Chains A and B, each alone.
Chain A
Amino acid sequence: MKTPEKQIGARMNRVDGRQKVTGAATYSAEYQLPGITYAVLVGSTITKGRITSIDTKAAERAPGVLAVITHFNSPKVPGFDTAGKDPSQPATVGGPIKVFKDDKIRFNDQPIAIVVADSLERARFAAGLVKGQYAQEKHQTSLEAAKSQAFLPTSAKKNPKHPMNDYQRGQVDAYKTGAIKLESEYVVPTEVHQPMELQAITAHWEAPDRLTIYDKTQGTMATRRDFAREWGLPEENVKVIATYVGGAFGNALHSWQHESAAIIAARVVNRPVKLMLTREQMFTMVGYRPYTWQKLGMSATPDGKITAITHEAIGQTSTFEEFTESTLAQTRMMYESPNLTTRYRIASLDVNSPIWMRGPGEATGAFALESAMDEMAHLLNIDPLEFRLRNYTEQDPEKNRPWSSKFLKECYQLGAERVGWNKRQLKPGSLRDGDWLIGYGMGVGTFGAHRGSSKANIRLLPNGTVLLQSAVTDIGPGTATAMTQIAADTLGLAPEKIKFELGNSNFAQAPTQGGSAIVNTVGPAVQEACLALKEKLRTLAASSNAAFASAKKEDVVFAEGYLTLNGNPAARVPFADLLQQVDGGFVTVESKPQGNASKNYSMYSFSVHFAEVRVHALTGEVRVSKLVSCADAGTIVNEKTAGNQMKGGAVGGIGMALMEHAIIDDRFGRYITKDFADYHVPVHADSPDVQVAFVNKPDPYVNALGTKGIGEIAIIGVAPAIANAIFNATGKRIRELPITPDKLLV
C-alpha cells in the first residue's frame, strides 16, 4: 500500500483554481435568481446636516422602476430599534447608523435612497433623478484640523487594562534627555481597500421570515448574526452565501448600510434584489484605512543601543463610532528599549467609519517605527540591519515572557543575501546608474499569531471521498486549498479525494476571515475532524474486524474504497460496509485553543522586507527594482499560495509607499479621488518580480500545525522599507506617504 506523499508543504495548485480561470467561479452579484431586480443607491451630496426633502417623483415615474425607498417610506426594521441597546450584544449591524431610519446626514455620500428597477440601466438612470434637499451644518473632515480634539478611546477609559491605553516602561518620554536623539512626525493618509470586486449583495426573501443573501463578506456567520438580529429572525432563518469573494482586504469585516438597504429593498419589492456599489461608493460606503498622524521620539547610545522610544498616534474615526487599531503594538515589543512610552488617540470627523485595512494599524505604526529606526541608524552611522540586530529582542519586552517562536534573525539573513544588501552604501546618494539614483532599505513587520475556536463538518461519501464543510470564506489566500492539504495529510488520503466546501453560514461555525488567523484556527478544526472521522471508522471497523480492534489510530489508512491498516494489507473493510453502519451524516468537531500557551508565550509572526529602489534624479519618479520579503510564519502549508500572499502584500506595500492617497476636499467633505484614475493602486509595471523566502519552522505553541499566519505581515514593514531605500538613494527623508514625485522634487 503506497502512502500518499505529504501534502502540507507541497506546492499544490488551488482546488478552486479551475473555476477561477474559466470564469465559472460565482461571486455575489452573479447568482441567477428568477425575477431578479436591480438596485442603485443614492448618496447624500452634503457632509453634515438633515434631509429636508427628497424628490423621488421623477424616479418613481421612470420606466421599469419598482420602488424608491428613503427614510420617508422605508419599512420598519425591527432590529433598528433594539440594536446597540443590549449591552451584551455587539452593536455593529451595518455600523451604528441605520439606513433610511432618520433624516440625519453624518458623512458625504451616506445612502439616502435606494432605487429598484427591472434592469440595471433603468435603476441607474432613475437613481440619477432622485434629489435630496438638505439643511446643512458645518462639518469637519480634516484630521490635521481636529488633532487638538483627539481623545483616548472610551474602551480604554473604561478599562485600564485595555491595550489602547497609554503604555510605559521605564521613564516617560525618556528620549528627550537622551544624548543622541531624534523626533519626527509621520503621516499615513487615508487609503482605501478597493478590492477588484465591487461590493455586492443579492438579497432574497425566500419566505416572509426566511432570508438568503449572496453577499460579499469575510464572515458568513457574523453577517448572518447581523441581519437575523436586524430583522428579528432566528439565525437559522438567515442564510449567507459567500462562496467566492473578490478580494476585501478588510472592507468586508463587518456589515454596512448598503447590505441593510438591499435587504429592505428586497422586502419592499418582494423579489430578489441585486445591488453592486459603484467604484465611487467604494470610497465612501465600505471603510478605509484612517488618516493617521504619528510622532516618534527615539534616543540611543553611540554604540547603537536604543535607550528610549516614545511613539504617539492620532487616527481618525467617525462621529458615530470609535474605530481603533493597534498602531503602536509593534513599537512596544519589537526592540529592546528600557524606556518606552506609547500614546494612542482618535479624533472624530464627519466621515464614514474606517475599517481595518490589510496589516491594519500595525502597517501604519511600522511606517513610523521602521522609518525612525532607519533615521537613527543613519544618525549613528551604523548599518540599519546591524542597528536592528543590536536591539533584537530575545523575549517579549512588553509582556516579559518568551516568544512562542521567533526566527526573525534568520529572515534578516535570508533577505539581506537575496537583495544584495552588501551593495548598500552608508552614505545616501552614493549609487547611481545614469539618471537613476539607487538605494536599499529595509522594514520589519510583526502581527499577533491569533488562534480562535472553530468547528468543522466531515463526512465520508459513498464514493470513498471525504467532504468537509466550514462557514469560513476565502478572500484570496487559498483557504480551501490549505484545508484540503491539512485534511489529506491527516487522513492519509490523496487531495483529489477530499472536497472542502466553504462560504456558507449553514456550514460548520468558523470565524470571520481576517487577522491572519484562519489557518491557525480552522486548520486545527479540520485536523481534529479528520481524526474524529478516522476514529469513528476505526471503531466501526473494529466491531466487525479483529485486526482493527487492536490497531493504533495512526495505522488506519484510507485506500481505494477500503479502510486498511498500515503493515497489515490483509485487514481491509469496504467503505460500503462502514457506510451502512453510519448514518452518512456529518461528524462535527469543535477545536479550541488548549492550555495556557497563550498566557505563557507571546505569539507573533515576523517579517522583514528589503527594497532596492531607483529614483530618477530629475523627475523624482521611483521604481522599486527589487523587493524581497522574508517571513517567520511558522509552518507553511502551501508555499505556492503562501508565497503569492507575501507577494501580494509587497505589492500592496508599494501602493502604500508610492501612490495610494484618498483625498477629501474639506470645503465640501467630499472625496476628489473617486476611481482608479484618481486613486492609484499598483499596476503590473509597478511591481518587480517579488522574491519571497520562508523560514518555515513550526511554532510549537500556536496550534498542532505549527502555523502563525501570513496575510498581515506580508504588508507590514513594506512601505518603510521603500521609504528607507528612497532615503538611501537620495538623502531625502519623506515622512508623509505616499512618496509621489512632487515630494522628491522639493
Chain B
Amino acid sequence: MNQFQYVRPTKQKAAIDALAKDANAQFIAGGTNLLDLMKRGVIASQKLIDINRLPLTKIESQNGSLRIGALALNGPVAEDRLVLERQPLLAQALSAGASAQLRNMATVGGNMLQRTRCPYFYDTAMPCNKREPGTGCGALEGINRMHAIFGFSDKCIAVHPSDMSVALVALDATVLVSGPKGDRRIPFNDFHRLPGDTPQKDTNLEQGELITAVEIPDAPFTKHVSYYKVRERASYAFALVSAAAALELDGTTIKSARLAMGGVAHKPWRLTAAEQVLVGKPATEETFRQAAEVAMQGAKAFKHNAYKLKLGPNTIIQALKTAAAA
C-alpha cells in the first residue's frame, strides 16, 4: 500500500472541501473494499478522508419515506426495527451480503460504491479497462462465468457485486448526495451506470460529492418480499445471480410488484417490464414464469456464463414464489 495523507474531518463541509480540491483523494468509510484494493495496488489514493466521524448514521422515519444515513452500518441497518417493519426486503438483502464482521464495518454509502469483483480488475498484471482504461477487457475472451448478461459493452462485462443495491433499486430508493455545487437527489436506478466506453466510472457521482443518505419511499411491500441469492457456497460469497422480489397481494392477485436482479449487469438490474407482467395476475408459478421470461429478454451470454440464462429466470421464479409464500 502506498503512503497517503490521512485526515479525519468531523464536519460534512470540511470533508467535501477536502475531496473537491484533490483529484487523488478519496473518502474512506468502512474501508472493506477500498483497503482491499489499495493493498493489491489496484487503487493508490494520495489522501484518505476518513468520514466515519460525520453524523450520518441515523435511520429515521420521514413523511412518506425511510431515510437511512450513508454511514449507517450494514449489520445494524439489517436489524433495525424500522427497516424490518417497513422495508424487510432491504433487511434481507443486507443480511445476504458478506459476513457478520464485514456488515459491522461496511456502510450503506460504501456498499453502493463497492467495486466489481471481476478477477481481471483485481490483478494489476492483467488487462482491465475499468482499472486501466485502454488495456482491454480480460474477461471478454477470458474466464467469464461470473460476468454480465445484460448491459455490457465490448469494453467491460463486469457485474456489480452489491446485494443491498439490488433491493434499493427495486424499492425505488433515492440517493442523497452533497457536493461542492450543493445537494442533489439521484434516483437509485440512475446512480450506477452501464460501462459503455468508460467502464472506469461505476456511478454518476461527481468529483467531490458525498453520499449523505438513502431514502426509500413507503410502499406496501412489508410482507411478501424475498431476496433470493444463489452462490457457490451457502454463505459468505458473492452472488452468481440474485433476485429481489416484492409483491403487494390482494388475496391471491398481485396488486403491484417490484423486481430486480443482481449478478447480471454492471449495475443492479431493475426489471420493470417483468413487474408489469405480474400486475393483476394470480400469484402462481405460471405467472412468475411469464414474468421471468420477460425479464430475460435481451440477455446474452458469453463463453462461460450461459448458465445464467437459465439460473436468472429460475432465481426470479424462486424469489417470487418465496415472496408470495411469505
A contacting B, Cβ–Cβ less than 8 Å: yes
Check if A144 is an interface residue, CB within 8 A of chain B.
no
| Residue pair A658, B233 in contact (C-beta under 8 Å) | yes
**What residues of chain B lie closer than 8 Å to A740, measured between beta carbons?**
232
Contact with A along B228-272 (1 / 0, CB 8 A): 101011111110100000000000000000000000000000000
B window 300-324: CB within 8 A of A: 307, 310-311, 314-315, 317-318, 321
Known: A677-B238, A742-B240. A668 touches B2 (CB 8 A): no
Whose C-beta in chain A lies nearest to the C-beta of B314?
A618
A window 422-438: CB within 8 A of B: 435
Bound Cα distance A527, B311 (Å): 59
| Residue pair B318, A683 in contact (C-beta under 8 Å) | no
Bound Cα distance A670, B307 (Å): 24
Whose C-beta in chain B lies nearest to the C-beta of A45?
B125
**What residues of chain A lie closer than 8 Å to B311, measured between beta carbons?**
619-620, 741-742, 745
Known: A670-B126, A678-B119, A745-B311. A124 touches B1 (CB 8 A): yes
Whose C-beta in chain B lies nearest to the C-beta of A109?
B125
Check if A196 is an interface residue, CB within 8 A of chain B.
no
B126, B141, B240, B317: the one within 8 Å of A741 (CB): B240
Check if B37 is an interface residue, CB within 8 A of chain A.
no
B window 119-144: CB within 8 A of A: 119-120, 122-123, 125-126, 138, 141-143
**What residues of chain B lie closer than 8 Å to A678, measured between beta carbons?**
117, 119
**What residues of chain B lie closer than 8 Å to A684, measured between beta carbons?**
235
**What residues of chain A lie closer than 8 Å to B119, measured between beta carbons?**
672-674, 678
| Residue pair B123, A670 in contact (C-beta under 8 Å) | yes
| Residue pair A618, B307 in contact (C-beta under 8 Å) | no
Binds B, one of A65-73, A497-505, A659-667, A725-733: A659-667
| Residue pair B233, A686 in contact (C-beta under 8 Å) | yes
| Residue pair A672, B230 in contact (C-beta under 8 Å) | no
Check if A700 is an interface residue, CB within 8 A of chain B.
no
Whose C-beta in chain A lies nearest to the C-beta of B321?
A435
**What residues of chain A lie closer than 8 Å to B281, measured between beta carbons?**
none
| Residue pair B233, A125 in contact (C-beta under 8 Å) | no
Known: A125-B1, A685-B236, A741-B232. A672 touches B310 (CB 8 A): no
| Residue pair A667, B235 in contact (C-beta under 8 Å) | no
Known: A619-B318, A742-B307. A686 touches B143 (CB 8 A): no
Bound Cα distance A375, B39 (Å): 48
Bound Cα distance A743, B304 (Å): 11
| Residue pair B317, A683 in contact (C-beta under 8 Å) | no
Check if B63 is an interface residue, CB within 8 A of chain A.
no
Check if B55 is an interface residue, CB within 8 A of chain A.
no
B window 67-108: CB within 8 A of A: none
Whose C-beta in chain B lies nearest to the C-beta of A687?
B234
**What residues of chain B lie closer than 8 Å to A674, measured between beta carbons?**
119, 122-123
Check if B201 is an interface residue, CB within 8 A of chain A.
no
Contact with A along B1-45 (1 / 0, CB 8 A): 111000000000000000000000000000000000001010000
CB distance from A680 to the nearest CB of B (A): 5
Check if A121 is an interface residue, CB within 8 A of chain B.
yes
CB distance from A221 to the nearest CB of B (A): 36
B142, B230, B238, B317: the one within 8 Å of A621 (CB): B230
Check if A1 is an interface residue, CB within 8 A of chain B.
no
Bound Cα distance A672, B232 (Å): 16
**What residues of chain A lie closer than 8 Å to B122, measured between beta carbons?**
674
Check if A397 is an interface residue, CB within 8 A of chain B.
no
Bound Cα distance A435, B325 (Å): 13
Check if A609 is an interface residue, CB within 8 A of chain B.
no
Bound Cα distance A673, B123 (Å): 10
Bound Cα distance A658, B1 (Å): 35
**What residues of chain B lie closer than 8 Å to A673, measured between beta carbons?**
119
**What residues of chain A lie closer than 8 Å to B232, measured between beta carbons?**
658-659, 680, 738, 740-741
How many residue pairs at the A-B interface have CB separations less than 8 Å? 92
| Residue pair A618, B318 in contact (C-beta under 8 Å) | yes
**What residues of chain A lie closer than 8 Å to B41, measured between beta carbons?**
128
Contact with B along A609-623 (1 / 0, CB 8 A): 000000010111101
Whose C-beta in chain A lies nearest to the C-beta of B236?
A683
**What residues of chain B lie closer than 8 Å to A84, measured between beta carbons?**
none
Bound Cα distance A609, B39 (Å): 42
| Residue pair A672, B142 in contact (C-beta under 8 Å) | yes
| Residue pair A435, B307 in contact (C-beta under 8 Å) | no
Whose C-beta in chain A lies nearest to the C-beta of B40?
A280
B1, B228, B234, B314: the one within 8 Å of A121 (CB): B1
| Residue pair A677, B117 in contact (C-beta under 8 Å) | yes
| Residue pair B307, A623 in contact (C-beta under 8 Å) | no
B window 210-234: CB within 8 A of A: 228, 230, 232-234
Whose C-beta in chain B lies nearest to the C-beta of A684?
B235
**What residues of chain B lie closer than 8 Å to A685, measured between beta carbons?**
233-236
Contact with B along A708-744 (1 / 0, CB 8 A): 0000000000000000000000000000001011110
**What residues of chain A lie closer than 8 Å to B321, measured between beta carbons?**
435
**What residues of chain B lie closer than 8 Å to A672, measured between beta carbons?**
119-120, 123, 126, 142-143
**What residues of chain A lie closer than 8 Å to B233, measured between beta carbons?**
658-659, 680, 682-683, 685-686
Whose C-beta in chain B lies nearest to the C-beta of A108?
B125
Check if A21 is an interface residue, CB within 8 A of chain B.
no
**What residues of chain B lie closer than 8 Å to A618, measured between beta carbons?**
314-315, 317-318
CB distance from B310 to the nearest CB of A (A): 5
| Residue pair A665, B142 in contact (C-beta under 8 Å) | yes
Contact with B along A121-137 (1 / 0, CB 8 A): 10011001000000000
| Residue pair A741, B125 in contact (C-beta under 8 Å) | no
Check if A145 is an interface residue, CB within 8 A of chain B.
no
Bound Cα distance A738, B2 (Å): 38
CB distance from A732 to the nearest CB of B (A): 13
**What residues of chain A lie closer than 8 Å to B145, measured between beta carbons?**
742
| Residue pair B143, A665 in contact (C-beta under 8 Å) | yes
CB distance from B78 to the nearest CB of A (A): 17
Whose C-beta in chain A lies nearest to the C-beta of B145?
A742
Bound Cα distance A740, B308 (Å): 12
Bound Cα distance A56, B3 (Å): 19
Bound Cα distance A659, B237 (Å): 11
Check if A207 is an interface residue, CB within 8 A of chain B.
no
Bound Cα distance A742, B125 (Å): 29
CB distance from B212 to the nearest CB of A (A): 29
Check if A746 is an interface residue, CB within 8 A of chain B.
yes
| Residue pair B3, A665 in contact (C-beta under 8 Å) | no
Known: A618-B314, A619-B315. A683 touches B123 (CB 8 A): no
Bound Cα distance A172, B119 (Å): 46
**What residues of chain B lie closer than 8 Å to A616, measured between beta carbons?**
318
CB distance from B291 to the nearest CB of A (A): 14
**What residues of chain A lie closer than 8 Å to B123, measured between beta carbons?**
670, 672, 674
Contact with B along A116-159 (1 / 0, CB 8 A): 00000100110010000000000000000000000000000000
**What residues of chain B lie closer than 8 Å to A682, measured between beta carbons?**
233
CB distance from A465 to the nearest CB of B (A): 42
Whose C-beta in chain A lies nearest to the C-beta of B285?
A618
Whose C-beta in chain B lies nearest to the C-beta of A678?
B119
**What residues of chain B lie closer than 8 Å to A125, measured between beta carbons?**
1-3
Bound Cα distance A738, B237 (Å): 16
**What residues of chain B lie closer than 8 Å to A668, measured between beta carbons?**
125-126
Q: Which 7 A-B pairs have the closest CB atoms?
A: A742-B307, A685-B234, A685-B235, A45-B125, A672-B119, A618-B314, A745-B310
Q: List 19 A-B contacts (CB under 8 A).
A: A121-B1, A128-B2, A435-B318, A618-B315, A619-B230, A659-B232, A659-B233, A667-B141, A667-B142, A672-B123, A672-B143, A678-B117, A682-B233, A683-B233, A686-B234, A742-B145, A742-B307, A745-B307, A745-B310
Q: Identify 12 new A-B residue pairs, CB closer than 8 A, beyond the known A121-B1, A619-B315.
A: A124-B1, A124-B39, A623-B234, A667-B141, A674-B123, A677-B117, A678-B119, A683-B236, A685-B236, A742-B240, A742-B307, A746-B310
